[in-house]
Structure 1
Amino acid sequence: MFHFQGCRSKRNLLSGTWALNDVSFENNTGNFKAVLFNDVEDICLEGSEWFFRDNNSTGRYTIAPSTLCNGGDRYIRWSVVERAENYTSQLQFKFIDERNKDISGGLGYRLNIETLTENMMVLKSNVQVDGQPVTVVYNFTKK
């Protein structure tokens, strides 16, 4: 019997602090870099900390400063989008300021929730790199 996990339980599992350990690429070969979320290169997201607050759907991710990376907090409003039963649920988010005001101009991001447990999460998003489709894979562990 197939048990469909509801939106509420996914939100509860997502809630809390996560470490983004690894960003990798599928469906393409070669060495390339990508600017993700119109923000930073993939290397800057590795090691970033993500926090999801369940009760008001806000959160942030924090980039460590370095010579390559513009460090600091990025504030987000997030939700879990349930799709038809045989499709992957999605995490969607858009950027807000520290007072929770929308600064995204309506632009948002959706990532497929491939795996979500109490301890680990794998998100995937499809992007274009040099006109070619590439799947970006984000591997998280719960802190």
Structure 2
Amino acid sequence: MHVKKSFFLLLMAVGMLSSCSVSKSAKQDRNTIDGYWMLNSVSYTGSEGKFKSELFNDATAACFEGSNWFFRKNNSTGSYVLANSSDCSQQERFIRWSVVNREGMTDQLQFKFIDDKYKDISGGVGYRLDISSLTETQMRLQSKVTVDGSPVTVVYEFIKNE
């Protein structure tokens, strides 16, 4: 009887671990994203006109252009510092990030804000961006928003820093 119970517990543990595993696609994306990136440009598609937007409830798109990002895959943490401008706070923002694999859909990069001790400071609120393209040297992320009832896609173009 003791052997059956031990086998059952082992089977349950293996099942739980496999259900929490990261897909091969997400692992590959995480490996590629790992490191230092610069957000080269923020643009908008799907609607005409000029936009003034606040991204991630933090700062304007102009402050994000030229911002430096760091992603550490081994503990899923990272940070970013906005572009060096008098209008943009140079304080480092810390994040916890992951890649979400969605069967039959585009993978997503998701993140939420944490403090320097890795504690959630966003109340569980986070952001998901579609990974529209990803190579060793460039990354394009997109998010869909609505402006005055019309769909707009925000496009984030990153380049990898050596």
Question: TM-score, normalising length from structure 1?
Answer: 0.92
Q: Within 2, Cα distance between the matches of 1:55 and 1:20?
A: 22
Identity of aligned residues (%): 56
User: More helix by proportion, 1 or 2?
Assistant: 2
User: More strand by proportion, 1 or 2?
Assistant: 1
Residue identity opposite 2:139 in structure 1: M
**Alpha-carbon offset, residue 5 of structure 1:** 5.8
Gap runs ≥5 in structure 1: none
CA contact (8 A) 1:65 1:72 kept: no
**Alpha-carbon offset, residue 70 of structure 1:** 2.1
**Alpha-carbon offset, residue 134 of structure 1:** 1.2
Aligned to 2:92, what secondary structure does the other structure show? strand
CA contact (8 A) 1:34 1:129 kept: no
Gap runs ≥5 in structure 2: 1-22
Question: TM-score, normalising length from structure 2?
Answer: 0.82
CA contact (8 A) 2:65 2:83 kept: no
Runs of 4+ in 1 over 6 A off after TM superposition: none
Residue 62 (structure 2) aligns with: 43
Residue 111 (structure 2) aligns with: 93
Tell which structure's C-alpha radius of gyration is larger: 2
Q: How many pairs are equivalent? A: 139
Residue identity opposite 1:126 in structure 2: K
Structure 1 position 79 matched with structure 2 position 98? yes
**Alpha-carbon offset, residue 64 of structure 1:** 2.9
